[in-house]
Structure 1
Amino acid sequence: MHYRHWAAAGLMLLSASLKPAVAQHQGQLIPLDTAVRTGKLANGFTYYIRKNNEPAKRALFYLVNKVGSILEDDDQQGLAHFMEHMNFNGTTHFPKNELIDYLQKVGVRFGADLNAYTSYDETVYQLPIPTDNPALVMKGLDIMRDWAHGALLETDDINKERGVILEEKRLREGVGKRLQDKTMPVILNNSRYNYRSPIGIDSILVNFPAETIRRFYHDWYRPDLQALIVVGDINVDQVEKQIKKQFADLKNPENERPRPDYKIELTGRNQFLAITDPEVTVTELEIVVKHPGTEMKTTTDYLDAIKRGLFNQMLSYRLSELSQQPNPPFLGVKAGIGGMTGGLMQFGFSVSAKPGKLQEAFNGTWSLLEQVKRFGFTQAELDRAKTGYMTTMENGLREKSKTPSNSYVAEYQQLFLQGAASPGFDWEYNFVKKELPGITLDDIKAVGTQYMTETNRDIFVVAPEKEKANIPDSATVDAWLAKVKSSSLEQYKDTETHDPLLKKLPEGGKIVSRTKIPAVGVEKLTLGNGVKVWLKPTNYKNDQIQFVSFAPGGINKYSNEDYPTASNTIGIISGSGLAGYSPIQLSKMLNGKSAGVGVYIGGRAQGINGGSSTKDLETALQLIYLRYTAPRKDTVLFENAVARSREQIRNKYDDPANVFRDTVGAVLSGYHYRMSPITQERLDSVSLEKAFEIYKDRFADAADANFVFVGSFNTDSIAPLLARYLGALPALNRHEKPVILHTTVPKGKLIKVVEKGKDNKATVLLVYNGDCKFSEEENLQLQALAEILQYRLLTSLREKAGEVYTPSVQAGMTREPDQRFSVNVSFGCAPEHVEHLVGLVEQDIADLQKSGATKDELQKYKAGLRQQIELQVKSNEFWLQYLAGKIERKEELKPLPDIEKRLSKITGSSISAASKTYLSGENCIRFVALPEKK
């Protein structure tokens, strides 16, 4: 469970999103999609039901309540979120923690699947249910009925949950929270929202009488403020019949309190705030211009949304181009129109500056916004944005039948909460196709004029404490704004290239052999240059192809002296463009294409990865060919990247999280030179010329490369394209072998304590590690052990002790370069609870070693794994990873192992044995982050 509060109160940018739109009451009402069954019972309870088979045999149940922290009385601050927790701690059909226990036994994982959130204005519960058993669908409706109005709210259960809530609140302590506490009153205009943060305040969370939360529940958890959304592989008629039967008897309270529609009033004032903090690492200036809220109900609303999406897209592109100019004074910049808490919209702007260059950084970036406001965009920019927008819609149309259920749920949630239209994709596609061509430059310029205004403007300057004497005041920033406004600016000059990606197509090579591997539905092509291509056609998506390649080599081949450059080669060269084209030119050339190709150099291998639509596969193959044969270096982009890295290093360790993270990494790598964080000295040794040479060396020889393609293609149809482009890759037949580098983890028991920062919180990481003999069967035992230990820690640390919010157990086993295992137990807590909680972890481990796993724990783990695997194997991502792993390790491609056969070997005694092997404590490193001593 988590809560969402001021989600968009800070800088929250939209890209080409279609919703929400400018509030107007013109045009025709947007119709509701006929594929959704909706209704409202006599008591006001609303429902939305839709049949959808993606994924098959699954359904999503969401209970949406127009109830959030904004409705709390003064003595109830934090209780909307507390109430969310209580719905998991005892309801009519599931007393105490029986709900979580029951769902885990049918394969629904707590946190990952079963979840909820509370915000200012709503509380939403989510539950995925397997639908191959009709009884589970009915049980899902029982759970929804309990969540709607079946909480028991026992006093003992309430008291036990206080500690959990306080620990969830503690996790949010830090520099971000401190900054938020200062900026929120300004952003929210000291409205009611400012005094209703969903997490609440300690004095109430610790001391409120049980009757106070019962009053909140009685007042607000009621059918006229609730909706049930059910989307998935279900019988719509049966579900609707059952909803009417189970929810019609819910009653609204007598003399019910009206549900106020709180808003943040716009005052017309401009506000300024400067903040410093010792844990802030860069100086940043942020501007938020607030505007009245929006709706999405009419065709005019939708059209306005498209215009805003185009505006954001073009503005983002301009800012990206600005970032690629020589030696910019800023480290990063972003701007755009987006939503805000409290029913508002905003134009947001943020720039982070190099030391001593805030004014220069602001002037350069704000001048670009003034240029946009004054002149608008060019026709070429608008045409490209329209092409990109329409390409996205066309891609969506092709995948319409594969739309996942959670997409529909999100729409119906906004339909209930905001009245936002949900017309279905066909309507949206046809509307965009009809209206997009008619949008003009004047339309887009008007968007900028509407949102980039000079009232209701909040300005924040946030800087490191040591820069306090150098930050500007309100009058100074106002002067900067005035100077930009009165400055002489020229219209933006757009540059276009109409060259093809490849001026001359390669002659290509030949397919010298084709071998089918029916056990996994794969065909292997061997090309004349030695390249091997493994093809698996699938129908998991209607129009998606994914690919990856690998060949032995990697950066381990280079000396420690060259390592700083070698380890940064990909970042330097892959971001510099291709074949004489800069990244900006390349982006324009690829506009409207659904093709992307990345490149990597790992420790022991190098290759490419990416994806495309079927139509744009040839473009993707051309990009692969260029990645191998035509890398580009760019002095300006290199120097800009080094300058950004230099600033990231400068104040890095003012942030306690960075100190802790790097301490963990250094210890677990045995302080290996290549695993330690980059320093200024190493950065100074990075060479553009050397990086270019390393890149060319790594991709000079594809003779030992294996390419894996998975997705919606016909093998025979794409074979000629593969032969042309992959068959033309260079082949030197070097037959390289990877260089194996070993690291050593300290043996024995070790405690590392980091004391940094001012927040009263601790982070604990226990790393159980050692050598092992890798096998798939043993790795599964290790994963089962980790999951079962997490069940126990959730009970002992959270439910019983109430001193932890989310204990985590992660386990892994490696076979290369060394066969090792690790089990990482982590949690956050109060500093004074560290020793007690570590003791509870050790006790749970001792109990596992003595008695093994219980029947219930085994049932939960196995049910959850079955559900996960059933979904995973129906994805291109799974097969790409699975096949690539097998091929790279030179293992036989066989059918997927029988999951039931593997699960049968996981028993209570096998978990006992695994816990003795992997959690013996013989090699255990305890890392603890604590606040600095006062």
Structure 2
Amino acid sequence: MNNRYWAVSGLIVLLASINPVKSQQQIQPVPLDIAVRTGTLANGFTYYIRKNNEPAKSAVFYLVNKVGSILEDDDQQGLAHFMEHMNFNGTTHFPKNELISYLQKVGVSFGADLNAYTSYDETVYQLPIPTDDPSLVSKGLGIMRDWARGALLKTEDINKERGIILEEKRLTEGVSNRLQQKITPVILNNSRYSRRSPIGIDSVLLTSPANAIRRFYNDWYRPNLQALIVVGDVNVDQVEQQIKKQFSDLKNPENERARPDYKIELTGKNQFLLLTDPEVTATELKIVVKHPESKMKTTTDYLNTIKRNLFNQMLTYRLNELAQQPNLPFINVKAGIGNLMGGLTQFAYAVTAKPGGLKESFSITWSLLEQVKRFGFTQVELDQAKTSFSSGLEKERREQSKISSESYVAQYQQLFLNESASPGFDWEYDFVKKELPGITIEDIKSLAAKYMVDINRDILLIAPEKEKSNLPDSATLVGWLAKASSSLFEAYKPAIVKNTLLSKLSKGGKIVSRNNISAVGVQQIILNNGVKIWLKPTTYKNDQILFVSFAPGGINKYADADYPSASNAANVIGGSGLAGYAPNQLSKMLNGKSVSVGVYISDRAQGINGSCSTSDLETALQLIYLRYTAPRKDTVLFDNAVARLREGIKTKYDDPENVVADTIGNVLSGYHYRMSPMTLERLDSISLEKAFDIYKDRFADASDANFVFVGNFNTDSIAPLLEHYLGALPFQNRQEKPVEIHIKMPKGRLTKIIEAGRGQKASVLLVYHGDCKYSEEEGRQLQALSEILSYRLLTSLREKAGEVYSPSVQSSMTKDPDQRFSLEIAFGCAPEHVAHLVKLVEKDIANLQKAGATQDELLKYKAGVRKQVALQRKTNDFWLQYIVKKVDEGEELKAVTDLEKLLININSNSILKASKLYLSGENCIRFVSLPEKNIK
């Protein structure tokens, strides 16, 4: 149901998860994690069950099928994905759309929780289930049984779904899809994979007989190609018995078709493809070298995975370092070893050049890769990579009791689909501790020689249409490669980096008051420099501390003439390093630490935000101190950033999505200067010196700052650190107030037609807005209204009309600087359906204003909110945001409002009133995006 079926679009994206290659070392099988209960029934049905209490009273059920688009016959192209849809449109125990309706009533939302995806080789259904009621666990298994072999596949239901799937396909139209259709046959060597896109072809989706999808279902939805994964707060023995009871009677076809193991064969040849399109905004050169993969089964396989991760980490660092050099001809570069598909892995490289800079961009970046191939990495680089790898492993070890059920599901899914070993963390931890020290720089160097070869190589050149006459041909590019590989290089010499982050510190402060707010488990500390600190200890994570600060001021303090510099000060100065250290130097100094400290300057405030492990809190506080007292400006980084922005602005509106987005933004802000998009004129007015001065001014006084810390810490233990570092922050007692700039949407009923793009698709955005009386209660009423309206639109626009794939309703309510609300309705469709669909939306709104919500809708909304809120309130993020909101708005920090007290006031009549108030249409802006006229 989501867009993961369009996986081919990510073929040359570098993946973090990589498959290993076997070496000649002693081979031993990787054992299976003893914490997972697994078994195979007599009919071939496989199951994996694991007890996990994160989150408590919840479990996730996944039905994994070794069934995807690769198995489709010629007359079935797109029916694997179609079949996924049909499992939500009528099964043995849930006719029509009753499944979605039932699950919504127990708090499982469609899309966010209940979902599925279809890829080339698999179809996977996911279902989270509350486990505090044992009957729901049994019901969940029953749903899985229906998905495994209980689809009704009625002809009328199949025909109704055709339009929905075509609308889902329409969402993919655009320049990316046009390019991908031409790239795919090359990358996939014209294999069967290149002819089996999971989304399918229109002729089959529109006209295929119902028996074609039934034939696909009968051939492939069978127990020996299926697995059930259950992870969560369950009784493993009981779940296993229920699986045996409910799934043992599944039968394989008497004359079952063999399930081929399709692969993409390597040809030993090189390929070249040149593509141009009017909507491409920059020239990009991609090189993909393909290799056979191996399964993750043995200790050698696992060790090779570690080596490749280290290789990618070090290569990425080198490329990032290169990107900080002056006068660069390229905008972006990336390279590394990663997965492809169909039994292949890849070395992939991509560089995006500035206009006229392709040859130089390639020469500089590919030379770096040749340098790595020839000389490898240094011992210093490898040691740093090992430290980073080890620290990540240690952090994961500390969080083992808080690992989410979804993480385990992902492992078992790969075990079933790809036979990738799942040994469990304890085994992995011991293995890495034993083997990591023995990995040498020669081991890593050999990977470059292995993967950067000149066979099975695809060169892809993608550029704007207007650049077509200036682009090199295949022979020219091969010549560039030959020249780069034969050039002379010096070995890389890593810069020496100091180990001391903070050389000197102003005198620390003292705590002048403490106040315990028992209602929320918060302690307030005030330091003698005026800094207020709010501490909320939690155990939601074992090794996480989140923090944020805020103080009145912000960008609005500055005149329009300084706005470009002010609005970019946080990014420009915050991204330039600290205390004389460039970003790459800071990265090395912080290697092995789990800490991140950023900076922001918003319209009305400024501050820092970040996170750290419990052991790295002091480092985080040092970085906070430096953010305030030792900002750094870097002319090279500034010039590079401006150059990238300049090229982006020049070609920005070649992309129709940017035309639509900026038009909407301009209209909604009343074309306010501060909300309008960046222009070349505005870019030229940004001054590094002005940005630096504004940054220093915003962080010159911490006396009005509030700091909030949430996570696993002891308030008494960290108090001396807070005194030492936050107490040393500068203070001037400015007592600043935020400057209010009132930006309001235009009043009345407006319609804006935007013509942009070549794809035959339209998008509609309806914005209802106005003044309101802000309160938590009213905010909840508005949220309920938007959720209930989304139920209705899903039914009317998708299920009944069949003309929309996924309508969206979003709402918001603000208190400052003005009490305002907005409710936005968005959907994509065929251009000819716009007027009809808008009328259906207006009809649904009119019905709400006439009769309010149904009891069924109220039940769904309240069940979903209860589940959502219960999960949210057990996270550090929730408490950080809650404390910040209350303190910033000057409200009493008291216990979170009892949800039931809010929900009891949400009823049919309240929704009726809310619909009249918020959906009156008095202020409504309609945006309709249509394809450009006269496009051939």
Cα offset, 1:450, TM superposition: 1.0
Q: Is the alpha carbon distance of 1:643 and 1:156 closer, same or farther for their aligned partners in structure 2, counting shifts above 3 Å? A: same
What 5-or-longer segments of structure 1 have no aligned partner?
none
CA distance in 2, matches of 1:4, 1:625: 47
Aligned to 2:352: 352
Match of 1:533 in 2: 533
Deviations 1:257-315 (A, max 9, x none): 00000000000110001100000000000001100022111000000000000000000
Question: Using the alignment, how far apart are the partners of 2:129 and 2:152 within structure 1?
Answer: 23
1:604-623 matches, cutoff 5 A: 604-623=604-623
Displacement of 1:496 in angstroms is: 2.2
Partners of 1:79 and 1:503 lie apart in 2 by 65
Using the alignment, how far apart are the partners of 2:518 and 2:770 within structure 1?
Answer: 39
1:29 paired residue number:
29
Q: Secondary structure at the match of 2:300?
A: helix
- After the TM superposition, which residues 48-63 of structure 1 pair with which residues of structure 2 at under 5 Å, given as runs? 48-63=48-63
- The answer as to whether partners of 2:8 and 2:184 remain within 8 angstroms in 1 is no
Counterparts of 2:179 and 2:332 in 1: how far apart (Å)?
19
Per the TM alignment, residue 507 of structure 1 is displaced from its structure 2 partner at its CA by: 2.7
Task: Give 1:6's aligned residue.
Answer: 7
SS of residue matched to 1:524 = strand
The amino acid that maps onto 1:711 is: G
Residue 499 of structure 1 deviates from its aligned partner by 3.5
Match of 1:393 in 2: 393
Q: Which amino acid aligns with 2:281?
A: T
- 2:748 is aligned to 748
Residue of structure 1 equivalent to 2:780:
780
Structure 2 residue matching 1:257: 3-state secondary structure? coil
Aligned-partner residue type, residue 19 of structure 2: P
2-side partners of 1:832 and 1:14: how far apart? 40
Answer whether contact 1:5 1:120 (CA < 8 A) is retained.
no
Partner amino acid for 1:12? V
* CA-to-aligned-CA distance 1:176-229 (integer Å, 9 cap, x gap): 000001100000100000110000000010000000000000000000000000
Alpha-carbon shift at residue 831 of structure 1 (Å) = 0.1
Aligned to 1:912: 912
2:808 aligned residue: 808
Contact 1:23 1:296 in 2 (8 A): no
Say whether 1:876 aligns with 2:876: yes
C-alpha distance in structure 2 between counterparts of 1:356 and 1:78, whole Å:
42
Q: Which segment drifts farther, 482-491 or 19-28?
A: 19-28
Q: Distance in 2 between matches of 1:13 and 1:760?
A: 31
What is the distance in 2 between the residues matched to 1:274 and 1:204?
30
**1:7 and 1:340 in contact (8 A); partners too:** no
- Letter of the aligned partner of 1:752 in structure 2? K
Find the counterpart in structure 2 of residue 361 from structure 1.
361
Q: What is the aligned partner in structure 1 of residue 138 from structure 2?
A: 138
Asked whether the 8 Å contact 2:289–2:457 carries over to 1, the reply is yes
Kindly state the Cα deviation for residue 807 of structure 1 after the two structures are TM-superposed: 0.2
Shift of residue 343 of structure 1? 1.6
The equivalent of 2:797 in structure 1 is 797
1:382-421 CA distances to partner (integer Å, 9 max, x unpaired)? 0000000000000000000100000000000000000101
Q: How far apart, CA to CA, are the structure 1 residues paired with 2:303 and 2:372?
A: 21
After superposition, residues 854-933 of structure 1 pair within 5 angstroms as: 854-933=854-933
Q: What's 1:482 paired with?
A: 482
Q: In the alignment, is the contact (CA less than 8 A) between 1:8 and 1:341 conserved in 2? A: no
Instruction: Please give the alpha-carbon distance, in whole angstroms, between the structure 2 residues aligned to 1:291 and 1:924.
Output: 55
Give the conservation status (yes or no) of the 8 Å contact 1:14–1:312: no
Distance in 2 (CA, whole Å) between partners of 1:217 and 1:928 is 39
CA distance in 2, matches of 1:893, 1:812: 22
Match in the other structure for 1:177: 177
Provide the rounded CA distance (Å) in 2 between the counterparts of 1:515 and 1:817.
30
Structure 1 pair 815–9 and aligned structure 2 pair: CA distance change class (3 A)? closer
Deviation of the 1:627 alpha carbon: 0.2
* Structure 2 unaligned blocks of 5 or more: none
Deviations along 1:316-340, one digit per CA (max 9) or x if unpaired, are 0000000000011000000000001
3-state DSSP class of the match of 2:615? coil
Match of 1:221 in 2: 221
**1:24 CA drift (Å):** 5.9
Q: Give the Cα separation in 2 of the matches to 1:562 and 1:506.
A: 31
Offset of 1:7 from its aligned partner? 4.3
Q: Deviations over 1:478-526 (max 9, x none)?
A: 0100110111111011012133111124431100111100000000000
Describe the SS at the equivalent of 1:525.
Answer: strand
Q: What RMSD, in angstroms, separates the aligned Cα atoms of the two structures?
A: 0.8
Write the letter of the residue equivalent to 1:114: L
8 Å Cα contact 2:59-2:130 kept in structure 1: yes
Count of residues paired in the alignment = 932
Partner residue of 1:439? 439
Partner amino acid for 2:435? E
TM-score (norm 1): 0.99
How far apart, in 1, do the equivalents of 2:686 and 2:72 lie? 56
Q: Which residue of 2 aligns with 1:547?
A: 547
Q: Tell me the TM-score normalised to structure 2 length.
A: 0.99
Superimposed CA distance per residue, residues 604-630 of structure 1 (whole angstroms, 9 cap, x where no aligned partner)? 000000011111100000000000000
Q: Which amino acid in the other structure matches residue 791 of structure 2? A: Y
Percent identical among aligned pairs is 73
Task: Report the equivalent of 2:79.
Answer: 79
Whole-angstrom CA distance in 1 between matches of 2:658 and 2:503: 47
CA distance in 1, matches of 2:820, 2:513: 39
Which residue of the partner structure matches residue 276 of structure 2?
276
1:496 aligned counterpart, secondary structure: coil
Measure how far apart 1:255 and its partner are: 0.7
Question: Which residue type is aligned with residue 474 of structure 1?
Answer: S
Alpha-carbon contact 1:107-1:864 (below 8 Å) kept: yes
Aligned residue type for 1:408: Y
| Larger CA deviation: 493-502 vs 440-449 | 493-502
1:705 match? 705
Aligned to 1:567: 567
Alpha-carbon distance in 2 for matches of 1:28, 1:4: 35
Could you tell me which amino acid in structure 1 is paired with residue 11 of structure 2?
A: G
Q: 1:593 and 1:7 mapped to 2: Cα distance?
A: 36
Q: Report the Cα distance in structure 2 between the residues aligned to 1:367 and 1:388, rounded to whole angstroms.
A: 26
Q: Is the partner of 1:341 in helix, strand or coil?
A: coil
The answer to whether the 8 Å contact 2:19/2:293 transfers is no
Query: What amino acid is aligned across from residue 714 of structure 1 in structure 2?
Result: N
C-alpha contact (below 8 Å) 1:8/1:339 kept by paired residues: no
Name the CA distance, whole Å, in 1 between partners of 2:198 and 2:778.
44
What does 1:439-838 align with in structure 2 at a 5 Å threshold? 439-838=439-838
The residue type paired with residue 587 of structure 1 is S
Partners in 2 of 1:197 and 1:904 — Cα distance?
Answer: 48
SS for the counterpart of 1:288 is strand
Distance 1:769 1:581 in 2: 47
Q: Do the aligned residues in 2 keep the contact of 1:167 with 1:805 (CA within 8 Å)?
A: yes
Superposition pairs for residues 118-157 of structure 1, below 5 Å? 118-157=118-157
Question: In structure 1, what is the Cα distance between the partners aligned to 2:22 and 2:97?
Answer: 44
Q: Letter of the aligned partner of 1:887 in structure 2? A: V
For 1:430 and 1:204, locate their aligned partners in 2 and report how far apart those are by CA, in whole Å. Answer: 52
Residue by residue over 1:576-619, the C-alpha shift from the partner in whole angstroms, topping out at 9 and shown as x without a partner, is: 00000111111110000111100000000000000111111000
Equivalent AA in structure 1 for residue 457 of structure 2: R
